[in-house]
Structure 1
């Protein structure tokens, strides 16, 4: 439409007339406020266009249009001012956006549904909500959702609409091939949307067009197959293809919600079973078919999970108990009571064992028996005797430590575990010096007491994950798994030597012994347990020959690495004093506005002789030594100082993101300390964002929840960094007071070529939005990645495509250039 400056419609095409329900020519010479009224100022000739004219930098708006029949509808307006001979004319392009708003409404329904599912609602509860909302959105007379049952039935979970009373009037089946009219069965069997048109039920709309009402059945597809169906009866006529496509996508998300709800129900059953006892546990259905077992069950019975699932529990029958015994047991259980008793069962390989068994019935929502939980406690004398024999065979009788036999077995197990995790293991041998002199001068009794004291000290010295053993007369060994680096092994060796060096009082005599230590590393030295033992022994002998109370790694290369790390640690302490650090800044782009929203502050170390040292090299050392605390304080203060500098230059008010390490996060006064720095620098808390990896917050989720809440109350923004590379409990994630999730660059790097990476990124974006969080994607290097992330709904991007990390003095020029750059 063209509108003159006085609000009169000068011209309007056929589409504009149709949009507002007028015949061609009827709109001409009318005031535009007739079709685009401003409800706040109804007498304004230009209607809602007056607000657009008053905003010279904005030519697009969403408003409410008014049709000839007085019905309202949402409309998008794009206005262009054109200079004419008789004054300015305003050209408006308009489109009906009701379909887009339908999509937004559907998204809102899905988000609410997922929240309901995560709160533990049943299929019936959240499906009823979905049906009600579809009826509200489309005005349908009937909407219902049903689940596909294995016996051929479709079980109606929920129905809504004016025709829902008494629905269904007869059972609905998906396996009846004789039905002449069966859209539900067709949709289930073909896994395709089925549309049935009711030719005898036509509706004539206001334009005189005939519409045929429809029944549309959408299969609810998940990765497990068909979950059920969503059936919709149209109101006035056919649903347009766009709406049907949106509903097909909508139905996939419903199926996902149903699958999540089913998974949660399974998890609740397992939790209930585990809460009953810590022994062997299994769950059966009402008929006694095994549905779930724990690892203790496999150890006790000898059966693997795949050998017993969906089998009757009678697989364990020994034949010792008679039929009357089992009848009494089942009568008790079926009456809803707990049964306790002693039972002899048969191991997979034929041996018999005795258990104290507790069987607890589980009721469904209608107080009907649905499952049984059984807990077994092995009480056989044979097992007790075997336990005593095993202890004698595997433990040193003098010190109580594991002996060489158990040491070798455990080393194999730990190395196998390390291989699956991709971690390292340190094997540390220690040989006491001067021990023979103690035996010769004070006697073997004194020597035995000394060994007990040293064994006790070593057991207390190590972490719970380390394994200590006595492998010879005066030799001890430590197996340390999940090794963080060579320095950690060296530190453990030094602690071991210092522990042994501590004086021991025996019979009023102060006894001093020392130790030499040899170290080998898995998998660096070898992946064979016997070779690793030999290498540690060789390193031990080298230490014995070299100097008292010394330790040696098996390879010289490892010694050099350890020394280099120690040198780097010394240099790191000097660097803090000599101001060798600098901050670089990498911008973050808001995809909605196209503006630079924030910068991430990244520390760089310019070593006087090594040049630039990678943060990957020095940050772990700083964390291990505690230097990360003063280093982190410097980064925070320096980042905020630059915000003040840029504010004084009149640059846009941007935010800054600072990384927080695990050590910093554990500080008791973290929130108060950061708040103090913000006050000193006069920076609003919301302009500071703290980034933490998900592994940091999940180390102690409850404690993390408290710390995050305190930081959030200060007003600081919080982000989970490298999301997707660790493990996050959704139950905690939805409780955490965080504002953003940062998708790890490993998923972004190949997302335009790798379908799985793209889908993972999309899933994280949807998950974050469901939880009300902004999503930041790291490592964006190409235009194609940016566009794909924009399509997927990502909020913010960061990466080389926007800019590499830059020195602080380059930020002002970058910000000025970014104001005119289109991404």
Structure 2
């Protein structure tokens, strides 16, 4: 016994020693975490990336590609954050390696701080340089536009040389010396007139550019050549060397851990072998006992399950003997039929017979049971209270040991609710939920039936498509509930007019369709249509208001206008739209001309959707001239559509279509972007550009953030806001005068000019006009075209000019086509002209040539 206890003590001691050794080796081998290593390596890589991105932002700002310093601030912040993370070195690094890496991190952070100071100096110097660079060309152009003055040529030569050498690049010594001499001569030129004073103000900015340019270039060079990149590479190499040393040490410990683990595995396998031998002997002893117990348990579970299913099933169940007498029923049977078990046991299921099925039905049921042993189907039975209900019944025959049917099991479900649901679904599938009228699905069936009747009786059939006029106004003003009430009343009125053989259907929304089968003549359809429209026009009492709503109708006849339901509906719909065009509250028969016009408009509208993507939209420019001397002082951008097959499409055709289908917003933004891009191209080509006016639609003004979009486009192309002008109609501004005034105030703060187009044709008042911060009015061409004839339009034109000048607004006359009109407008003080007398709308190349000629005249 003592020897056994000593043996166990040695085994326990040995296991304890091995366990401690394994634990120590496990921690030593697992000190290096790949995740920590990858995270620290990623932090090193991020520092390098942020440093490179910072260099690129500095270069981009220096080159003028970026207008702010947000990117530099962002990457400087990220570099500082990354430097803090670099100090959080992995714990498994050796102490000596940690000191070396810490020193290199500190050197890298110090270099980054020095670089940040240079960037701060660059931002301040570059801001001053950029302001002068942006101001100089504009101020110089304004000064050179003044009447001739003594230093103009020398000043212009100096400015051109300075711009030619590049406003922000470092000049060589010869160029710098020459420019400084010119600057000194211009600054030394005394005199007190206004032109010389303005010239000296401009020269201050030239001096700043020449002084700050080399300073900024030197700062950029020093930032790019900062030692952060070299220090980062040194830090990365030091860390990788330390990591490889730690990894080699960990690998050594893992090898020892593996060897000791193998020894323990061998001992464990030996112990398992002995345990498995004893376990098998024990299992064999219990196998027979478990088998018998399991068989008994399964039998009891099956009996319990069968009893539970029979008792708790939601379906009614009956069990009958070979003579079809009931021997058992479940509670669901009693709940469905109303009978108790005592009332049915011993009787046949015939007591449930409703009388709806005949003898032939039951004969086929028993034939199926004898041949296949089962039957299922729908059957009507009677409850104890006499109520008849439908049920789905399944019967299965149970055979005895001799193969004869000893019992029958019947399972049934009450399907009364399902039958009712099917009836409701059938009604909803074929009728409108709001009005109860047939829907489109049932309508097509009624039309097909009407076509068959018309073929047999050789008579006509009419389809009337009716749409309530201005129903959307009632829906939007009084609400959808009132609109629904109106639709219900309109449907009832239509039903009272029609015969029982006619069909009134709600197509959807406020559209109704009438099917008139077996007509004697086409006049019968017109007679019925007039009666329906008359009934619809009677006043409605809606939400306490007495309102009158009319309807427009289109009539298509079978077989004259079509032989299918879809064709007749389509043509009746087209005729209805023609009735709306002719004044509403009327009807039209379909004709071939309606179909041709509708198809052409539909195809054109379909092509319009891809016009932008196919680059089919063009911008033409019509000059505006000064009324006093005929000089070009502006232009109006006019959109054109060059269709790939039809050629040029008139704006009167495609602009209304774009407004109807919502494309006008995209077209309007394209127009503003195209004009700004073209102005930028003309400026880059050295042309003397003029302000260009762009028309803004009512939808674009109402739905888009116009000031924000204009500001974004101007910034994108680096365009002064004075080079574009927006033209808005007075009716557009009056739709929401408060919002319009706010938008115009924003545009005014942006220095974007605004003109009221087609003035005199709208309904604005002088009190509203004074609230709108606009700069000019455009007299509508309808007034200008009457000049030369005696009439109110002539007096209106002169009155508009006088009124506009009283309000400090300039006046532009549209449609000036002859000298008589021009002389009259000049005599009454009109400021600018636009019309065929001075130039038609021109493609961009022709108008660019016109600007080039203007530049030559200016130089001369």
The two structures have a TM-score, normalised by structure 2, of: 0.36
Query: Could you say which structure has the greater relative contact order, defined with CA pairs below 8 angstroms and 6 or more residues apart?
Result: 2
Answer 1 or 2: which has greater helix percent.
Answer: 2
Bigger CA radius of gyration: 2
The two structures have a TM-score, normalised by structure 1, of: 0.38
